[in-house]
Every structure is written in C-alpha cells, then in structure tokens.
Amino acid sequence: MKRFEGTSIAITESKSGSERVFLSRVDFTARCHSQMEKEERALRKNLFVILAIVALFASSQIVSAQDSLYKRLGGYDALAAVTDKFIARLATDKQLGRFFVGASDDSKKRIRQLLLDQLCAATGGPCVYLGRDMKTAHKGLGITESDWDIGIRHLVATLDEFKVPKREKDEVLSALSTLKKDIVEK
C-alpha cells in the first residue's frame, strides 16, 4: 500500500496487478461536499436565469395580449359582427354575389365561421383556423383583380361602419393584402 503525502489516498495493488484507489472518509466527505456546493451554485445560477426568462416571457405575453389587434378590435363578438356585415355586403354585391349563388344556408354558415376563425387567429385571438389554405380554397373561382378591389372596398366600408380606428383598419388590410396572391387568379 502506498500513501501520498498530505492526503489520505491509499493505493493498493491486488494479486492480479490491478490497482485500487481508496480515499479516507474525511477526504471523500470533503470532496463530495465541495462538489455538492459547486452543483448547488450552478443550479441556483441556472434557476435564476430560467426565472428571469420566464418572467420576461410572461410580461411580454401580458403586454402582447393587451395590445393584440384582436383585443383592440373588440374581441370575438366585434369580429363576428364585422364578419356578418362584410359577408352580407359581398353576397348582395352585383359582381361578387355570383360566388354565393347555389350555396346552401349551411355552406354560408360554414363560410362565415371559417372567415371569422381566420380573422380571429390572424389578429392574435384565441381561435384556430382549420380551413384550407387560401390558394386551394379559392382555386377555380376565377377571382379577378376587380373582384378583389370590390371586396376590399366592402371591407373598408364595413370597418368604417363599425368605427374601427385607422391604425387597426390598416393592420387588418395589411394582413389581408398578403393573401391576395393566393386568392386572385386573373
């Protein structure tokens, strides 16, 4: 058995020639305690970082929820009222009414709900849009640039009727403009 100066480490050699290292109980306990202190400090540091990130995320969520377009527009009921009025305008328009001809009452209700869900989700509300993508949903309808422009005019008139402020109206129109390429075919 070999002892090293200043430590309580002992190395013994077995009959097979392999060595075993032994630490005294005092050294082992001190080393474990030291390692535990390091891990505890690291854990506290990591916990602090995690808590700081969670607090930052939570505060940003509160601010964004308060300032979401969905909230500023008045929430679900306000969006439903705008959707209903907007669809009524589209369906009674001489040029756009053709898109609603032959649709059953049930189909019209489904169109209304899909439009409402999409508007709700797009403005930061709690809804989930489960409909098809815009390109697939409008393929074959032959929607023209003129149809698009008339639809936008009806939307603006509807938003004006509900006295939607300019900032919110511009945000809605900006979001909608990104869909144009998938809706207009001609």
Q: How far apart are alpha carbons 129 and 131 in whole angstroms?
A: 6
Residues 75 and 119 in one domain: yes
Number of domains comprising the chain: 2
Domain boundary among 67, 82, 104: 67
Residues 77 and 139 in one domain: yes
Give the domain range for residue 33: 2-67
The reported pTM is: 0.63
Bridge partners for 3 per DSSP? 10
Domain boundary among 67, 96, 120: 67
Residues 144 and 168 in one domain: yes
Residues 55 and 117 in one domain: no
Residues 150 and 79 in one domain: yes
Domain boundary among 51, 67, 83: 67
Reading the block at residue 89, the tokens are: 């305008």
Residues 85 and 48 in one domain: no
Cβ atoms < 10 Å from Cβ of 70: 21
Reading the block at residue 17, the tokens are: 């020639």
Residues 59 and 81 in one domain: no
DSSP string, 126-183: S----S--HHHHHTTS---HHHHHHHHHHHHHHHHHTT--HHHHHHHHHHHHTTHHHH
Per-residue pLDDT of the chain (186 residues; tens, 9 = 90+): 555 555 555 555 656 666 565 555 555 556 656 676 766 665 555 444 454 455 555 544 544 546 899 999 999 999 999 999 999 999 999 999 999 999 999 999 999 999 999 999 999 999 999 999 999 999 999 999 999 999 999 999 999 999 999 999 999 999 999 999 999 997
State the helix-helix crossing angle for 145-161 and 166-177, rounded to 10 degrees.
160
